[in-house]
Amino acid sequence: GAVVSQHPSWVICKSGTSVKIECRSLDFQATTMFWYRQFPKQSLMLMATSNEGSKATYEQGVEKDKFLINHASLTLSTLTVTSAHPEDSSFYICSARDRNSGANVLTFGAGSRLTVL
Amino acid sequence: AQKITQTQPGMFVQEKEAVTLDCTYDTSDQSYGLFWYKQPSSGEMIFLIYQGSYDEQNATEGRYSLNFQKARKSANLVISASQLGDSAMYFCAMNPTGAGGTSYGKLTFGQGTILTVHP
């Protein structure tokens, strides 16, 4: 089945530094990937839609200069949290859909847990 | 805009019994898809079942079935013969779909229900 790999699975960084999270589709091509954020015991909130070869589309209230998204190939999207602060600590998870599949199934990565000290 | 409501913060069930997790939704879209995902403590999102708004039959996937009542805007998940490994957070989600039911992937999630299966 379709597999999405996310790396790193967890990261701890100092306040003010930038952190990059990768979302990679291993066995399929994805023209579109989605980035979600989840605080403990809460729901997933869509942050942005990552489009291969073009600019990402951000949801209302999400700072595009804070959360940089790059989708340079059909199998890789990256989310960079710039100048991270403790309030950015969260679980970030991506999803992707096989562009060649007619199935309505979205595959999620295993998530990346960010802790900003 | 779409909205998903899961009114059960937590549910308990005895092993081998069936359990129903509630989900109601609100949308102005004519065509939409409804999903259920399981999230264990490890954090990964595991796809369980999908129901298209134009599907006439309720979706089933093994021990999972979706009780879809369109007029009531509800999409409850039924887990039969619960197992200890079913203990997890369960999310109901939806997204608009275009002609032909193609999923656009922008999911709106409910608040989730924590299911605990007792031996």
Residue-wise pLDDT tens digits, A11-54? 999 999 999 999 999 989 988 899 999 998 899 999 999 988 88
Looking at chain A, which residue has its C-alpha nearest residue B89? A41
d(CA B84, CA B19): 13
CA angle centred on A100, ends A94 and A101, rounded to 5°: 75
According to the 3-state scheme, what is the secondary structure of A77-110? Answer: EEEEECCCCHHHCEEEEEEECCCCCCCCCCEECC
Contact: A43, B109; criterion CB under 8 Å: yes
pLDDT for A104 beyond 80: no
| Distances, alpha carbon A16 to alpha carbons A80, A83, A112, in Å | 13, 4, 19
Residue-level pLDDT, tens digit, chain B, 119 residues: 889 999 999 999 999 999 999 999 999 888 899 999 999 999 999 999 999 999 889 999 999 999 999 999 999 999 999 999 999 999 999 988 765 555 567 899 999 999 999 99
| Residue B45 confidence (pLDDT) | 94
DSSP class of residue A35? Answer: E
Size of interface A-B (CB pairs under 8 A): 59
Cα-atom radius of gyration of chain B, to the nearest Å?
14
A113 contacts B105? CB cut-off 8 A = no
Radius of gyration for chain A, computed over Cα atoms and rounded to the nearest angstrom: 14
Contacts A96 to B, Cβ<8 Å: 105
In this prediction, residue B103 carries a pLDDT of: 55
How far A112 CA sits from the closest chain B CA (Å)?
9
Question: Which residues of chain B have a CB within 8 Å of the CB of A91?
Answer: 43
A13 CA to centre of own chain: 17
Confirm or reject contact between B67 and chain A (CB < 8 A). no
Please report, for residues A37, A49, A79, B42, B89, the alpha-carbon distance to residue A10 in angstroms, rounded to integers and kept in the order given: 14, 22, 14, 11, 20
Q: Which of A105, A109, A111 has its CB closest to that of B47?
A: A105
Write the DSSP symbol of residue A69. Answer: E
* Interface touch B109/A95, C-beta < 8 Å: no
